[in-house]
Amino acid sequence: MPDSKASELISSIMTALSNCSLYSKDHPFVSEFSEKAVRISEELFKEESLNITLLGDTLIINETPLKETGAHIQNFIKKMKKKGIERLSIRKGVDMQEFRDFISALSGYDKITSTPHISVGMIEVKFKGEGIDISSIVNEKIESVKEVYSTAQRFKKIDMVSLEDAVAGFISALKRESNVLKVISPVKSHSEYTYVHITNVSILTIFQAELLGLKGEILHEAGLAGLLHDIGKTYVPREILEKPARLTPEEWEEMKRHPVYGALYLSTLPEIPRLAVIAAFEHHMKFDGTGYPDTRRYGKKQHLISQLVAIADFFDAMRTHRAYRRSLGIHEVIKLLTEYAGTDFNPLLIENFIDGLKRIHAF
Ligand SMILES: [Fe+2]
Ligand SMILES: [Fe+2]
């Protein structure tokens, strides 16, 4: 079987998928490329079906390993991993509509199920079953985030697969446990503050974004933006970062550069969504234009995602005990958020967040 046919198939699937994430299932491109994928699948049928198996980082099409390693193939592999799909079997009788529904399921965040002519073989899904310990799953993600953060270096690539997997995990965790306060974790030691903090900010950003109705790719990117917002802190000297007391004015000046360091670093990495670069730069800017970096003379306004990250950032920081400040209770944090609505934070987003917390009886 020629490699090119199989890679053309994956290419059509990924094009249909990205159009489905960007627009909707009903976009004409989704139908067009689903149709194309069905046509190519039929050409690739061995007897009455086509089997795609993921073995490590290699795709096996029927019994032949796919040698090509283009971007579409890599993204398809990532997608299969993210969805926990080990094997895909497309059978005779499949039509465009069924394929389009499959593409739509693939672009969403719910568990994927088999349809009459497309069966999916799943690897053990971590979240299934009763009595799931959400915090142990989040803790496991914190470990992988820690690994990525501690190896992040200027101009070096970042392990996006781990970060994307962590975000997908947080989105799933929030689907199963709607009380966001049970999903975020307390900081256990001083040195792990940064990792627990960025994880919590990611979860709290996803929580707010979902309340606003964001879903799919944009929700995922909001989660990534939360996870990467403080990446610039890896360039701030450790003595400043981990100082168990208040910072001196000079140290504070250096600390305040982390949004710029972060945005500069992320902008060198082509695989990072733009939203994450923007949020890294803007998460300490305030709704009224103050905060840092000071961009008032350019008339720059904070992006919606940065505004969500800023609220998540403040909420988590206030809930955490620091050497110079005790941790605040939920009522105290809510009071502060309300007080700062209109100056530090977008009042509509504060309302969105507080309403969401009320709805889950968080306070
Ligand atoms: Fe920050
Ligand atoms: Fe932060």
Q: Order across the sheet with 118-122: list the strands.
A: 64-65, 58-61, 49-55, 85-91, 118-122
Tell me, in angstroms, the distance from the centre of ligand 2 to residue 211's CA.
Answer: 21
Residues 55-75, mean pLDDT to the nearest whole number: 85
Kindly state whether residues 315 and 190 are assigned to the same domain.
Answer: yes
Residues 247-269, mean pLDDT to the nearest whole number: 95
Kindly state whether residues 109 and 144 are assigned to the same domain.
Answer: no
pLDDT tens readout for residues 106-119: 887 667 888 899 99
What are the angstrom distances between the C-alpha of 294 and each of 260, 297, 338? 11, 8, 24
Q: Is residue 128 part of a domain?
A: no
Q: Is residue 261 part of a domain?
A: yes
Tell me, in angstroms, the distance from the centre of ligand 1 to residue 197's CA.
Answer: 10
Query: Whole-model pTM above 0.85?
Result: no
Please give the share of the chain, as a percent, with pLDDT higher than 90: 49
Indicate if the pLDDT at residue 59 is higher than 80.
yes
* DSSP assignment string, 138-186: HHHHHHHHHHHHHH--TT----HHHHHHHHHHHHHHHHH---HHHHS--
pLDDT tens readout for residues 275-295: 999 999 999 999 999 999 998
Tell me, in angstroms, the distance from the centre of ligand 2 to residue 81's CA.
Answer: 29
Contact 75, 14 (CB under 8 A): yes
Give the C-alpha separation, 168 to 182, whole Å: 17
Beta-carbon-side half-sphere exposure of residue 121 (alpha carbons within 13 Å): 10
pLDDT, greater one: 60 or 2: 60
The ligand with the least distance to the CA atom of 205 is 2
Kindly state whether residues 349 and 243 are assigned to the same domain.
Answer: yes
Give the C-alpha separation, 230 to 349, whole Å: 21
Kindly state whether residues 100 and 197 are assigned to the same domain.
Answer: no
Structural domain of 256: 134-359
Indicate if the pLDDT at residue 65 is higher than 90.
no
Kindly state whether residues 166 and 264 are assigned to the same domain.
Answer: yes
pLDDT tens readout for residues 175-224: 888 889 988 987 766 667 888 999 999 999 999 999 999 988 899 999 99
Q: Ranked by mean pLDDT, which of 97-106, 131-140, 147-156 comes out on top?
A: 97-106
How many of the other CB atoms lie within 10 Å of CB of 111? 15
pLDDT (0 to 100) of residue 302: 94
How many of the other CB atoms lie within 10 Å of CB of 261? 20
Kindly state whether residues 104 and 146 are assigned to the same domain.
Answer: no
Give the C-alpha separation, 333 to 328, whole Å: 6
pLDDT (0 to 100) of residue 188: 66
| Distance in Å from the first CA to the final CA of the chain | 61
Kindly state whether residues 162 and 289 are assigned to the same domain.
Answer: yes
Kindly state whether residues 157 and 245 are assigned to the same domain.
Answer: yes
Structure tokens given for 52: 């795609």
Kindly state whether residues 117 and 138 are assigned to the same domain.
Answer: no
Q: Is residue 129 part of a domain?
A: no
Contact 225, 273 (CB under 8 A): yes
Domain boundary among 64, 92, 122: 122
Give the sign of the dihedral formed by CA 43, CA 48, CA 53, CA 58. Answer: negative
Tell me, in angstroms, the distance from the centre of ligand 1 to residue 138's CA.
Answer: 21
Kindly state whether residues 248 and 177 are assigned to the same domain.
Answer: yes
pLDDT interval class at 127 (50, 70, 90): very low
Tell me, in angstroms, the distance from the centre of ligand 2 to residue 265's CA.
Answer: 16
Domain count of the fold of the chain: 2
Structure tokens given for 250: 């000079």
Kindly state whether residues 52 and 194 are assigned to the same domain.
Answer: no
Structure tokens given for 101: 């529904």
Tell me, in angstroms, the distance from the centre of ligand 2 to residue 204's CA.
Answer: 12
Q: Is residue 127 part of a domain?
A: no
pLDDT tens readout for residues 295-304: 888 888 899 9
How many of the other CB atoms lie within 10 Å of CB of 271? 12
The ligand with the least distance to the CA atom of 259 is 1
Domain boundary among 96, 122, 148: 122
Residue with tokens 């990250």: 309
